[in-house]
Amino acid sequence: MICTMKLNRLFLVSVPALCLAFSSCSSGSRKAAADDSHIGLTTKTLQIPSSDVLNLKSYYLSCTCRKDTSEWLYAYNYKEHALDRFDLHSLGSMQIPLAVEGASAVVRPISGLYVCSPDSIWVYDAVQKALLLDGKGQVLRSVPLAAGLSSGQVVMIERNYAISTTTLYYDAHRRSLLFGIRDASGPSIVFKVREYFLDTGRATDVPLPASVDVPHVAEGDYADMSRPNMTFTAEKIVCNYPVESHIYVIDRRSGQTDVFEAPSRYTANKAEPCRSRTDYTQWERHRVENPHFYELMYLPASGRYVRLHTAGQTYDASKKLMDQLLEKRFFLTLFDHDFSVLGEEELPAHRYNIFTGWCPASDALLFYVDHPLSGGEETEELVIDCIE
């Protein structure tokens, strides 16, 4: 499968997870079973050989696609304005250039990517259009996602390490696109998921539950961390807030919402308010001093979920902001299909790019091995760790 493989073992010790389930009609609670067993995760290191594709060392926006026994990694190359495609089995690579003008123009940069198949690729570009591309980058369909929004509503499809991750999702069965909405049209800011049906142009909205720890997170007291992360599966809408450790799951069929406690054993589980709503220097300090919980990612082959988060640390005004962010400790938490915590582990220091340099595959979490403070030797190869 790979030309170079390096095996390491991460042992995860499970911790109890308390769950609170509720729906619009009734409420209740349940407790996830504690499991004292050790779960070993294997890390396989892939080295993509150098080629004519001028790939990056890390990509902030990536997606995988699996068909039969083949699986590809698609990643947005912002320098080339192209999609770099890597075969995770043969380790071959190719590039799909994105047009900058004409009928197939994709306005740079893109912030959403969902690959249905090698000839069916959805991207979300800088003028708020969802574009369906073929395998050569030609536009097959254009959907202006902001067209149906009212005043005060904005599309949320972004991948920003300091703010949130909200993905674009295509539901093949319902022939619909799912994406996030920030709605400031009322007395308070709320977040929703919009489902846009491609055959009819009709759209429906599902409100997201507010954070149980920071219900007014959008009002400005938590600096950049003022929006939820959102991910989607065929059955579920999964969201969490960067400022705290709970997980919020909406069943797309029944509408029931479950809230799961998923605390870290190693870090604070709630961010502190920022010292100022307007002083950006304090915003930067807030980013260093507080934990940041990233999105839940689904691994369909195993039915498990993975969440990453960074720990807060003491701010040092004498050091560069970027260096302090890169020094933050990095953690992985593993969940079963019912969102019970299976274990948590600190990731190796100075190995992975914390600026959203990862994405889920069918049975593994892929990390770009690229850290500015690693001090390692430069290589022309793209190096990827697959944690299974």
pLDDT digits (tens, 9 = 90+) for 304-320: 999 999 999 999 999 99
pLDDT confidence of residue 20: 28
Query: Which tens digits make up the pLDDT trace of 52-62?
Result: 887 899 999 99
Tokens of 14: 């499970």
* Tokens representing residue 173 in the block: 């069965």
DSSP 41-67: EEEEEEEEPP-SS---S--SSEEEEEE
Q: How far apart are CA 114 and CA 74, in angstroms?
A: 9
Q: Look at residues 89, 80, 40 and name the one whose alpha carbon lies nearest to residue 59.
A: 80
pLDDT for 172 equals 97
Query: How would you write 221-272 as a 3-class SS string?
Result: CCCCCCCCEEEECCCEEEEECCCECCEEEEECCCCCEEEECCCCCCCCCECC
Contact 77, 55 (CB under 8 A): yes
50 has a pLDDT exceeding 90: no
Q: What is the pLDDT of residues 127-165, one digit of tens each?
A: 999 999 999 999 999 999 999 899 999 999 999 999 999
Closest-CA residue to 255 (of 83, 97, 21) = 21
pTM: predicted TM-score of the whole model, two decimal places: 0.90
User: Residue 177: beta bridge partners?
Assistant: 170, 196
Q: What is the mean pLDDT of the chain?
A: 89
**pLDDT of 280 strictly over 80:** yes
Structure tokens at 385: 């760790």
Q: Can you tell me the distance from the alpha carbon of 205 to that of 186, in angstroms, rounded to the nearest whole number?
A: 15
Beta-carbon contacts of 318 under 8 Å, excluding residues fewer than 6 positions away, are none
Sheet of 129-133, strands arranged across? 112-117, 120-124, 129-133, 139-144
Q: What percent of the chain has pLDDT over 70?
A: 89
Using omega within 30 degrees of 0 as the cis cutoff, is the peptide bond preceding 207 cis? Answer: no
